[in-house]
Amino acid sequence: MTDYMEITEAFHQARTAPDVTDRATGLEEADRIGGVALVQARLQGQGAEFCIDCDEAIPAKRRAAAPWAERCISCQDDHDKREGRRHG
């Protein structure tokens, strides 16, 4: 979980920076590394680095857009279709 540690550290440094400019720069950096949503999702124990269905790595882009995602796009699609059947 190197990514996670890196993000956590970046946010910690940003929050504790004595200078407001450093803080802003640090937050920008932290945001660039992982994104606030991803960090929050990780802290809440949501989302997954690997698809829970096929074990493929979930692309960083997808995780950034949907930090709660537990499946890769193709498995999520299949899952949605299966779930969708309940509604006809």
Nearest approach in angstroms of CB 58 to Zn ion is 8
Distance CA 49, CA 42 (A): 10
Site for Zn ion in 48-67 (CB under 5 A): 51, 53-54, 56
Nearest approach in angstroms of CB 41 to Zn ion is 18
Nearer to Zn ion, 13 or 76 (CB): 76
Nearest approach in angstroms of CB 4 to Zn ion is 21
DSSP 5-48: HHHHHHHHHHHH-SSHHHHHHHHHHHHHHT-HHHHHHHHTT---
